Structure 1
Amino acid sequence: NRALIFIKQKSFNRALEELHQATTISPNLIDAHYNLGNLLIQTNGDPIKSRRHLEKALKLATSQEVASRIKRTLNALP
């Protein structure tokens, strides 16, 4: 996905735009919500929005392993 390329290039604003667009167009994309939540944390973005996207990803999780990873990220939030 293009957002991951932008993240690797440290083009965080472009990555945020891509991820916002992805979650708007396809609200059930777990990876988009998870990556957006993480990117908001990494870029000192809005912690409330970060939590909201991570919680959405948790609701969409299809395995215990994925759910556990998301829960660890959520528990690390302030």
Structure 2
Amino acid sequence: MPQPTPDRDDQARLFREVVLVLGGVFAVQKTDDETIRRVAAGLERVYRRARQNQRSTTSSQALAPHPAIAGLLRITEAEGDEP
């Protein structure tokens, strides 16, 4: 069995932290099961796509992220530019 690369290990750790944070938010907010299932399914697709290093090029409609999510994305993009 091949050993995971450090980048993939870091990716898995980061993904796990994100999932735990969302789980905490869902628990505190008493989020309904259907919403949790939809978010989990979306996260699973993203995780598998990232692990396979593939990009999805098929999108039937362009969606804009929630402003709070867009803010988080800007932070990660800005930190990626730092030396």
Q: Same fold (TM over 0.5)?
A: no
The structure with the greater share of residues assigned to helix is 1
- Report the TM-score, using the length of structure 2 for normalisation: 0.29
- Report the TM-score, using the length of structure 1 for normalisation: 0.30
* Structure with bigger gyration radius: 2
